[in-house]
């Protein structure tokens, strides 16, 4: 292509995209005028008028819509942070087990990954909520004395009270993402040359210690980038909470939109809050990545 041709193609492309955007925005304006809605964010300061089943900060239906959305955002953040921690533990254990020289461990890990990844997450969440947690007896079970008390009303771990909805989302998301993380970890372990394993085994170092001090430090640079994309997936998937009635960001936005009819504004706010969540996860992963890579270089 000559320079001139290239220039023309780019101009045409840009013109086409701008025209499309123009038509869409024009349609939107026409529709908004026709329905008499217009664009406005004043509804944010009006009282929410609906209750939120769980909230980290004090909230009442008479509080403002914006405050309600913040509660939803905090709920999302809470369940995402907890699930990330639990999924990582599950994934690392299962990933390490799949490369263990104990056939029982590797078979179990293979079963876990093969089963969980072929079943839709939404179905799994419904299972955890309706079958596993709502199926518990209403009288609290206390298998470890006062440490853990479980019933179909609430889960109490060491004095910390969790709702059944939160527990279902937490377990469902962690088990689902854990299977993907296991695959990531397995890939990272496979990237470490076989000789490294043989070397620490021949030195008489135990399986666990060798994994921790020889293999993992070398596998981490391959694992971390894929891990952060799994975390982002987990954050996106947490919006399925709405199916089990956990008041996350998406569920609260959905209620707010139905109450006010402000679909476009509500949607924009939802996108913005999600962007913020993504940036948070990405930022912390980058810091972690940096720390790990630097440490690896020093030793």
Partner 1 sequence: MQSCFSVVLLALIAWALWSTGFWLVQRADWSVVSGNLPLFAIGSYPEASRWRPILWLGSLLLLTLFTLAQPLLLRRGIGLNSTILSWSWLLMMPLGLWLLAGGGVLDPVPSRLWGGLVLTLLLTVFSGVIALPLGVLLALGRCSELTTARQLSKIYIDGMRAVPLIAVLFFGQLLLPLFLPVQIEINRLLRAVVAFGLFAAAYVAEDVRGGLQAVPPTQSEAAAALGLGPWQIQRLVILPQALRIAVPALTNQAVGLLQNTSLMAILGLVELLGISQSLLANPAYIGRHLEVYVWLAALYWLLCTAMALMARQFERQDPSNLIATRRS
Instruction: Figure out which of the listed residues 6, 46, 290, 295 binds partner 1, where binding follows CB under 8 A.
Output: 6
Among the listed ranges 47-55, 67-75, 86-94, 266-274, the one in contact with partner 1 (CB under 8 A) is 266-274
24 forms part of the interface with partner 1 (CB under 8 A): yes
Exactly one of 2, 118, 138, 202 binds partner 1 (CB under 8 A); that residue is 118
Residue 264 found at the interface with partner 1 (CB under 8 A): yes
Mask 223-242, x = binds partner 1 (CB under 8 A)?
-------------xx-xx-x
The answer to whether residue 272 forms part of the interface with partner 1 (CB under 8 A) is no
Angle at 161 between CA 121 and CA 68, to 5 degrees: 70
Tokens (6 digits) for 40:
């406005």
Q: Is 271 near partner 1 (CB under 8 A)?
A: yes
Residues numbered 182 to 221 that lie near partner 1 (CB under 8 A) are none
Told to check if 41 binds partner 1 by CB under 8 A, we report no
Q: Is 158 in the site for partner 1 (CB under 8 A)?
A: no
Please state the closest distance from residue 48 (CB atom) to partner 1, in A. Answer: 20
Instruction: Specify burial of residue 184 (Cβ count, 10 A radius: 0-12, 13-18, 19+).
Output: buried
Query: Helices 249-260 and 263-298 meet at what angle, rounded to 10?
Result: 170
Three-class SS state of 204: coil
Nearer to partner 1 by Cβ, of 137 and 195: the residue is 137
> How far apart are alpha carbons 217 and 106 in whole angstroms?
21
119 binds partner 1 (CB under 8 A): yes
Q: What is the smallest separation between the CB atom of 271 and partner 1, expressed in angstroms?
A: 6
Give the residue with the Cβ less far from partner 1, 23 or 287.
23
Q: How far is the CB of 298 from partner 1 (least distance, A)?
A: 32
Cβ atoms within 10 Å, residue 188: 22
Instruction: Please tell me the distance from the alpha carbon of residue 233 to that of residue 280, in angstroms, as a whole number.
Output: 14
DSSP string of 104-160, one letter each residue: HHHHHHHHHHHHHTTS-HHHHHHIIIIIIITTS-SSPB-TTTTSEEE-SSEEEETTE
- Taking the complex as a whole, the smallest distance from the CB of residue 253 to partner 1 amounts, in Å, to 9
Distance of CA 68 to the CA centre of its chain: 21
DSSP annotation of 274 reads H
The crossing angle, in degrees rounded to 10, of helices 216-237 and 263-298 is 170
By CB under 8 A, name the binding residues for partner 1. 1, 6, 9-10, 13-14, 17, 24, 27-28, 30-32, 34, 102, 104, 108, 115, 118-123, 126-127, 130-131, 135, 236-237, 239-240, 242-243, 250, 254, 257, 263-264, 267, 270-271, 274-275, 278
């Amino acid at each position: 292509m000559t320079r001139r041709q290239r220039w023309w193609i780019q101009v045409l492309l840009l013109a086409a995209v701008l025209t499309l955007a123009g038509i869409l925005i024009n349609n939107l304006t026409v529709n908004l005028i026709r329905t008499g809605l217009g664009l406005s964010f004043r509804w944010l300061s009006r009282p929410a008028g609906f209750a939120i089943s769980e909230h980290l900060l004090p909230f009442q239906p008479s509080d403002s819509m914006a405050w309600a959305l913040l509660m939803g955002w905090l709920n999302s953040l809470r369940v995402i942070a907890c699930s990330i921690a639990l999924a990582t533990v599950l994934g690392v254990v299962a990933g390490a087990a799949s490369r263990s020289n104990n056939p029982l461990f590797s078979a179990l890990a293979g079963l876990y990954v093969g089963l969980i990844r072929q079943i839709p997450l939404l179905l799994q969440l419904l299972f955890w909520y309706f079958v596993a947690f709502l199926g518990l007896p209403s009288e609290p079970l206390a298998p470890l004395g006062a440490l853990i008390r479980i019933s179909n009303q609430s889960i109490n771990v060491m004095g910390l009270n969790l709702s059944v909805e939160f527990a279902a989302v937490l377990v469902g998301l962690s088990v689902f993402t854990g299977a993907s993380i296991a695959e990531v970890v397995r890939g990272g372990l496979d990237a470490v040359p076989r000789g490294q394993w043989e070397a620490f085994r021949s030195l008489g170092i135990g399986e666990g210690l060798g994994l921790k001090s020889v293999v993992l430090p070398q596998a981490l640079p391959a694992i971390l980038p894929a891990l952060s994309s799994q975390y982002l997936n987990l954050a996106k998937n947490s919006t399925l909470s709405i199916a089990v009635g956990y008041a996350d960001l998406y569920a609260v936005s959905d209620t707010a939109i139905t109450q006010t009819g402000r679909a476009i504004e509500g949607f924009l706010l939802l996108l913005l809050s999600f962007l913020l969540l993504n940036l948070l996860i990405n930022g912390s992963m980058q810091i972690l990545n940096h720390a790990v890579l630097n440490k690896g270089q020093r030793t």
